[in-house]
Each structure stands twice: as C-alpha cells, then as structure tokens.
Amino acid sequence: MSDQPQPSVPEPSTDGSVATRLAVVRGRITAAAVAAGRDPREVRLLVATKTQTPEAVLEALAAGVDLIGENRVQELVAKAPAVADRVAEGALQVHMIGHLQRNKINQVLATATGLETLDSLDLARAISERCVRDGRTGDRALEVMVQVNVTGEESKSGVAPDHAVELAGAVATLPGLRLTGFMTIGARLDDTDEDTVRAGFARLRAIRDAVLASGAPGTSTATELSMGMTGDLEPAIAEGATIVRVGTAVFGPRVTAATL
Ligand SMILES: *Cc1c(COP(=O)(O)O)cnc(C)c1O
C-alpha cells in the first residue's frame, strides 16, 4: 500500500461556523465508516476543546455535540460552569484526554465524567480510592480508559503496548473505576506514512480484543477504542475506532499553542 498516494485530508477551514465545520467532520466520519463496512453509528465524535473559549464550546453543544474532551485540568475546571447544566441533565459527557497529575485528581473527579488517560496502576489506585471515599462505586464509578503509547515515542504518555493488557486487567478490578476501553494518540502523518499510522491503531485494537478475550473480571465493558484526530480519523475508523477526538477540524487551527 505504501506505493499508493496518501489519501488527502481536507485542510481545516478557517471560515464558516462551528456548525458547518461539524457537519463536514460528521460527513468524514460517515464516509470513513461506510468505506470500512461499518455502521457510522458505531463511531462517536468527541470534540477536543483545548484552548477554545466557553462560547466556542457552547456553539458546538448547540450543534448537537454530546461529548467533549479537555487536556488540561485548569481548562477543564474553568469551562465546567458553562457546561454544568448539560452534564447534570445527562446531555453531555466530559472526558479528560490529557495527562493527569495525581495532585489534580479531585478537580477531575468534580468536573469530568470520564478519564481517557490512565497509564499507571498507581494513578488508577489513587483515583479509585477517592471514588470509593465519595461513594462512587458500581454504576457511579468513574469511567476510565487505559492510554497506550502505540508509537513508543518518549514525548507521549501512555503505557507501553506490552504492559497494556496487564494494566487493564488490574484497573478493571478497582471498585471506584469502570474500564470502558483504550485510547491512543497515533503517529503523526507528517512524520510517517499511513501504513505506520494504521499499524498503531491496529495494535490498540489487538490489545482491546486480547483484554476482552481474557474474560478477566471487570473487563467485559472495555469495548471502546478512542483513536483518530483531525488528520487521521479515516485510518482510525478503518481500524475500529469507536470514538474519534477532533479539535482543529471543528474549531479551525488553534491560535494558542497547546501541548498534547
Ligand atoms: C488536541 C487533541 C486532539 C484533537 O486534535 P486535532 O488534531 O486538533 O483534531 C485529540 N486528542 C488529544 C489527546 C488532543 O490533545
């Protein structure tokens, strides 16, 4: 496949409303699912809201977005009041998609409905303990995903692929957490070819399948694959993504620098 031209990813447009750009993103998701022989309803759109104002986030919610992701605890907390009503109604889920430091656990528990970036058993235990203390077990346990560093780049968070199955099995037994799946940040298409990007996503799917097949306690809910962003949502969907996390294609290029 590497001798074929790269599929062209539409340039994120800088004009048009959030609603218009969302429609384009939804069209891309549908087309990619259909091309992969999948039901487009199997793929959820998470809108990545880092560096965006509360007003921009509300524009996305008005256009039907029901899942957003925030990278930094500070921004998560700052935007929480703007979206609190929607969260309380059950109309919006908020995922933490950035690296979490232990001293910020309480702020995340107060404002996020899920955490996609669990990458160590220490962190998992600390969060679970807080949840149990707050009476959040069973149905009220925090939804978490294990983040896997499929590319092995040192700059990226996530557990190494070889340790992911074991970590997931351990996380799944903690009373304050409900393991819902796996998350990864793919290799950058600028740095590598599409085959390498796809292989990373396939690796995450293989990890998920191994965990589900293990039948280990608490792992039967670990079905989600959060993978794919503005530049690589098509290969991610081809490899089984159930959540794609999209920022730039929804809001336009970020003005402020933000770290992943
Ligand atoms: C910013 C971000 C995204 C979205 O990236 P875009 O390229 O803007 O679509 C997805 N996942 C994570 C973890 C991010 O930080």
Q: Whose CA is closest to 177, among 120, 233, 238?
A: 120
**What is the pLDDT at residue 258?**
55
What secondary structure does DSSP assign to 159-216, as a single string? Answer: B-HHHHHHHHHHHTT-TTEEEEEEE--PPPTTTS-HHHHHHHHHHHHHHHHHHHHHT-
CA distance 73 to 70: 8
Three-class DSSP category at 230: coil
**What is the pLDDT at residue 128?**
98
Q: Which of 24, 97, 259 to mutate to test the pocket of ligand 1 (most atoms within 8 A of CB)?
A: 97
Task: Quote the ligand 1 centre to 237 CA distance (angstroms).
Answer: 15
The reply to whether 10 falls in a domain is no
- Give the phi and the psi of residue 93 in degrees, each rounded to 5: -110, 145
Three-class DSSP category at 258: coil
The reply to whether 204 falls in a domain is yes
The reply to whether 53 falls in a domain is yes
The reply to whether 174 falls in a domain is yes
**Which protein residues touch ligand 1 with a CB less than 6 Å away?**
48, 50, 71, 97, 185, 229-231, 245-249, 260
**What is the pLDDT at residue 2?**
43
Residues near 229 by Cβ (< 8 Å), separated by ≥ 6? Answer: 48, 185, 186, 236, 244, 245, 246, 247, 248
Task: Quote the ligand 1 centre to 231 CA distance (angstroms).
Answer: 9
The reply to whether 137 falls in a domain is yes
Among positive and negative, which fits the CA dihedral 140, 47, 247, 244?
positive
The first and second tokens of residue 94, run together, are: 């908020």
Q: Which of 44, 49, 201, 229 to mutate to test the pocket of ligand 1 (most atoms within 8 A of CB)?
A: 229
Angle between helix 161-171 and helix 121-133 axes, rounded to 10 deg: 20
Whole-structure pTM value? 0.93
Q: Give residue for tokens 């730039």.
A: 248
Ligand 1 atom closest to the CA of 245, numbered from 1: 10
- Backbone region of residue 64 per phi and psi (left: phi > 0; alpha: psi in -120 to 50; beta: other values): left
Task: Quote the ligand 1 centre to 48 CA distance (angstroms).
Answer: 6
CA distance 65 to 250: 11
Domain that holds residue 41: 37-251
Ligand 1 atom closest to the CA of 229, numbered from 1: 9
The reply to whether 14 falls in a domain is no
Local confidence pLDDT in tens for the 260 residues of the chain: 344 444 455 554 556 799 999 999 999 999 999 999 999 999 999 999 999 999 999 999 999 999 999 999 999 999 999 999 999 999 999 999 999 999 999 999 999 999 999 999 999 999 999 999 999 999 999 999 999 999 988 888 999 999 999 999 999 999 999 999 999 999 988 878 889 999 999 999 999 999 999 999 999 999 999 999 999 999 999 999 999 999 999 999 887 655 44
**What is the pLDDT at residue 15?**
60
Structural domains in the chain (count): 1
Return the CATH number at 81: 3.20.20.10
**What is the pLDDT at residue 197?**
94
The reply to whether 15 falls in a domain is no
The reply to whether 19 falls in a domain is no
